[in-house]
A and B are shown apart, each in its own frame.
Chain A
Amino acid sequence: MAELTVGRSILEANDRLAEDLRARFREAGVKVINIISSPGAGKTTLLEKTLTLLKHRLAVGVIEGDIQTTEDAQRVAACGVKAVQIETKGACHLDGNMLGGALAAFDLNALDLLIVENVGNLVCPVEFDLGEDLKVAVLSVTEGDDKPSKYPLLFSEAGVLIVNKIDLLPYIDCDLRRIHDTCRSLNPAQAVFDLSCRTGEGLEPWVNWLEAWVRGKTA
């Protein structure tokens, strides 16, 4: 019997792809965000509302990840923004290879911001680096205030937390403060936006922050 030292990261193949993507994004001068949430938290609706406000201020492209259907890309395209759908056909997350394939549809040099909407899942997408500059976690209040402590990795890695559906707070038992407190202990530097895509409350500060971030005007 012999022992063979390996010392290799299991995700090295994806990590290498992600580094290549990161270099391409940097060279093209495009900022990239990776939006992650559970199914139904409102990622696509958030995109629709955000793009309506942002598309006149920045050149934006969108990549939609779903297990099946091209519905989300159609919804985004209806906002007047170029959108490409990745159908993972079963995979619970996007990886560097899938993203690299979808990039062929874009002229990265012409974009200020590329938004990637990951497959709805609080667990798997977090392990697969896509070369993005920023992860954005979306949590809707109806999912419960215990979710950040139950899925800490996402909420610790996300540079931005969006708490959606706050118009429903009067009707449910969700302690918004608990969400904020847990996320602060997971990632004290996180930018937090409480909003309602349905009423529009809180959208403007998020969109303004995003624009400033893309232009390099935030910390």
Chain B
Amino acid sequence: MHELSIAQSLLGIVLEEAAAHGVEKVLRVVVKVGAFTNVVPDSLSFCFDLIKEGTAAAEAALELTQVPMAGQCRDCGAELDFSEPVFNCPHCGSTAVELTQGRELFIEYIETAEPDSQPGADSAPPGQEV
């Protein structure tokens, strides 16, 4: 059950980003989870919902998008998709296969109730002291 630790790190980053951009309410958190991670999406959602109470993310919906495994054969160069973690190249039989996708665990973006506060959108005109 390391999903609680992961949920705590996740919430920490969301609140840090929200505070840094003056966001008072986070509505949605979009996370990419690779298929080849030991993270159970349902557990992560459950833990996130438990700990978000009383924070700026209290009403935030956690949206987890799974990233499938993909790789490339270092011998024949073929681009490979894997449904199972059996890392053999089906084209040339090589085991020198590099996993290029499937280990992701990152926050892609958050959706907030506030007006656009992306860097640049509300910054002072160039050359002016802030």
| Interface residue ranges, A against B (CB under 8 Å) | 1-14, 91-93, 95, 123-124, 126-128, 152-153, 156, 184-188
Contact = CB atoms under 8 A, between A and B. Distances in A.
B117 A188 contact: no
A93 B1 CA distance: 9
A210 B23 CA distance: 52
B108 A7 contact: yes
Given A3-B109, A186-B85, A126 B6 contact: no
A138 B87 CA distance: 21
Do most interface residues of chain A lie in helix, strand or loop, or is the interface mixed? mixed
Contacts of B109: 3-7
A188 B107 CA distance: 32
B5 A4 contact: no
A10 B111 contact: no
Given A7-B108, A10-B13, A124-B1, A153 B37 contact: yes
A13 B111 CA distance: 23
A2 B2 contact: no
A132 to B, nearest CB: 17
A172 to B, nearest CB: 25
B96 A1 contact: no
A188 B96 contact: yes
Interface in B25-49: 27, 31, 36-39
Nearest to A187: B87
Contacts of A152: 36, 85
Contacts of B114: 2
Contacts of B117: 2, 4
Contacts of B14: 6
Contact of B105 (A7, A11, A91): A11
Interface in B84-130: 85-88, 95-96, 105-118
Given A10-B31, A13-B12, A123-B38, A2 B111 contact: yes
Contacts of B96: 188
Given A1-B112, A14-B9, 7 more contacts: A2-B114, A2-B117, A4-B117, A6-B17, A6-B108, A8-B13, A10-B31
A99 B39 CA distance: 22
B51 to A, nearest CB: 14
